[in-house]
Amino acid sequence: MASWTEFEAAEPEFASRVRALMASRRHLTMATLRGDGSPRISGTEVEFADGQLRIGSMSGAVKAQDLLRDPRVAIHGPTHDPPADSPAAWKGEAKIAGTAVAVESGAAAHRFLIDVQEAVITRLNEAGTRLVVESWNPVRGYRRFERE
* pLDDT tens sequence across 90-134: 999 999 999 999 998 777 899 999 999 999 999 999 888 999 999
Specify the pLDDT at position 29: 97
Predicted pLDDT of residue 116: 97
Average pLDDT over residues 43-69: 94
Average pLDDT of the chain is: 94
Q: What pLDDT is attached to residue 81?
A: 86
Rounded Cα distance, 105 and 128, in Å: 45
How confident is the model over 29-49, as pLDDT tens digits?
999 999 999 999 999 999 999
The pLDDT assigned to 143 comes to 98
Give me the percent of the chain exceeding a pLDDT of 70: 100
Looking at the structure, give the CATH architecture of the domain made up of residues 4-147: Roll (2.30)
- For residue 55, name the pLDDT band (cuts at 50, 70, 90): very high
Give the long-range contacts of residues 84-89, CB within 8 A, separation 24 or more: 86/128, 87/124, 87/128, 88/124, 88/125, 88/126, 88/127, 88/128
Which whole number is the average pLDDT over 59-84?
A: 93
- Domain ranges in the chain? 4-147
